[in-house]
Amino acid sequence: MEPGSCEAGPAVKAVAAVLPAGGSGERLGGATPKQFCAVQGRPLVSYTVRAMERVSWISDIIVVVSPENIETMKSIVEKYGHKRVTVAEGGITRHRSIFNGLKLFSEDGFSKHLLQKPEVVIIHDAVRPFVEEDILLKVVMAAKECGVSAFIVLCTLESLSCQAAGAIRPLVSTVIASAADGYLDHSLERARYRASEMPQAFLFDIIYQAYQQCTDYDLDYGTECLHLALKYCKTNAKLVEGTADLWKVTYKRDLYAAESIIKDNLSQQICIITDAKEAIVQVGFLLRESLRNQIKVEAVSVCLSKHDSHVQNIFSGQCYNFVCINDKKYTTEEIQQLVDMLEKSNIPLLHPVVLISVHLDSSENTSFSIDLEELTRIKKCATEMKRKNILVYGLLIRYKPVKIVEAFVISDSDGFYAPHWESDWNSGDSKGGETNTIHISNIM
């Protein structure tokens, strides 16, 4: 999507992201660099790439890795279906890696992928997986706000300009300076200082020229891109308050913390799978709205067929709970097929996985024509799946064109429930255009 062509994106010609991922992770320990450590069976770097991919106005994502990890990174891109990603070769320091990533856009380093040179470039450590679109938009807009592309003029002006921005956080510990003898020299007034985090954003020409002018000392020992823009291009970055989840995975404890956050996020995700007719999908969307009202839903992807590429996404660790909607008569084959796919995908499952099989009945019957055999079959399936720690529920919905008539939930336990439904589903007629929703008021 062309950024700026819609209210969602920044009014910027093109935005790219450079993710430095070329480190060795010494402080974390272990043989595997932290960006490639598996979290829920998936490399940490893939979560950060995914976070950038979710932002439609980022046109190119450059992941910069050490030479020996180029192939590893390319296989991650392929396995998880990452798009808009180019892998670049890193350097011996973070600054050198970032510079190498930026070179892909310069005329002399023009990539064979014909990357579009960005007006604004985001720099974000690949080991900071919890980055959301709003902070990215804030730093990009802040970097753009002077918006003057007369870059050479600006760099020679004495006055500072602001074509850069960086996320900051309050300091947790006080910063002190130690004297040569190892004793306290002085401490800084903590309230006056902030921790520099990521993401950061720059007019591309600003940060590229800063790196070109960098001394080797800066490239080898520096840790702050904002400082380079100030030192070499007199560009004073705008500081943007970031959220607590922008932290960097540095030590083992950070990896454990990242794992529990990722688990919590993923356990909130649901995926609606349906290969039913359009009208049924409509009910699927109504169910989605009801679920949104009832539980915190991180992500929903509607797959129109089981062979849809979305399904591959699911089994590459994107979703962990499933709502399968179909209009076939109470089949359990679908449940078995999904469980088989889950087991074949050998992704580490968040337990328990919830699988709701929704059966829709629009027949004119006065009540559900489910017979005892069908009911027993669903319950038997649910009992078997429970041994695999997969909780299966059958949700039987009988609906008419304008309203839901009745619904039943079946689980492995004895008996079944009949939730009271107040459905103001007016089948999408033009009345007021109010959102159709299904309210599950309570379960008997």
Ligand X SMILES: Nc1ccn([C@@H]2O[C@H](COP(=O)(O)OP(=O)(O)OP(=O)(O)O)[C@@H](O)[C@H]2O)c(=O)n1
Rule CB under 6 A: say whether 394 interacts with ligand X. Answer: no
Closest contact distance (angstroms) between CB of 372 and ligand X is 59
Rule CB under 6 A: say whether 23 interacts with ligand X. Answer: yes
Q: Which of 223, 294, 369, 435 binds ligand A1H0Z (CB under 6 A)?
A: 223
Instruction: Name the phi and psi angles at 272, rounded to 5.
Output: -90, 120
Between 223 and 337, whose beta carbon lies closer to ligand A1H0Z?
A: 223
Instruction: Name the phi and psi angles at 70, rounded to 5.
Output: -55, -50
Let me know: does 63 contact 21? Beta carbons within 8 Å.
yes
Rule CB under 6 A: say whether 198 interacts with ligand A1H0Z. Answer: yes
Measured distance CA(63)–CA(82) in Å, rounded: 11
Q: Which residue's CB comes closest to ligand A1H0Z? A: 223
Measured distance CA(194)–CA(74) in Å, rounded: 36
Measured distance CA(326)–CA(403) in Å, rounded: 18
Let me know: does 98 contact 88? Beta carbons within 8 Å.
no
Rule CB under 6 A: say whether 426 interacts with ligand X. Answer: no
DSSP 382-425: HHHHHHTTEEEEEEEEEE-SS-EEEEEEE-SSSSEE--EEEE--
Measured distance CA(117)–CA(121) in Å, rounded: 9
Task: Extract the tokens encoding 58.
Answer: 């980022």
> Interface with ligand A1H0Z by CB under 6 A: which range of 196-204, 280-288, 339-347, 436-444?
196-204
196 makes contact, choosing from ligand A1H0Z, ligand X, none, with CB < 5 to 8 Å by partner type, with: ligand A1H0Z
90 makes contact, choosing from ligand A1H0Z, ligand X, none, with CB < 5 to 8 Å by partner type, with: ligand X
Instruction: Name the phi and psi angles at 342, rounded to 5.
Output: -60, -45
Closest contact distance (angstroms) between CB of 127 and ligand A1H0Z is 9
Measured distance CA(65)–CA(308) in Å, rounded: 31
Dihedral of alpha carbons 126, 265, 379, 276, sign: negative
Rule CB under 6 A: say whether 353 interacts with ligand A1H0Z. Answer: no
Closest contact distance (angstroms) between CB of 25 and ligand X is 4
> What's the number of CA atoms in the CB half-sphere (13 Å) around residue 428?
7
Rule CB under 6 A: say whether 275 interacts with ligand A1H0Z. Answer: no
126 makes contact, choosing from ligand X, ligand A1H0Z, none, with CB < 5 to 8 Å by partner type, with: ligand X
- Restricting to residues 310-349, name those near ligand X by CB under 6 A: none
207 makes contact, choosing from ligand X, ligand A1H0Z, none, with CB < 5 to 8 Å by partner type, with: none
Between 24 and 362, whose beta carbon lies closer to ligand A1H0Z?
A: 24
Report the interface residues with ligand A1H0Z, using CB under 6 A.
94, 125, 196-198, 223-225, 248
Residue ranges binding ligand X (CB under 6 A): 20-27, 33, 35, 64, 90-94, 97, 125-127, 248, 250
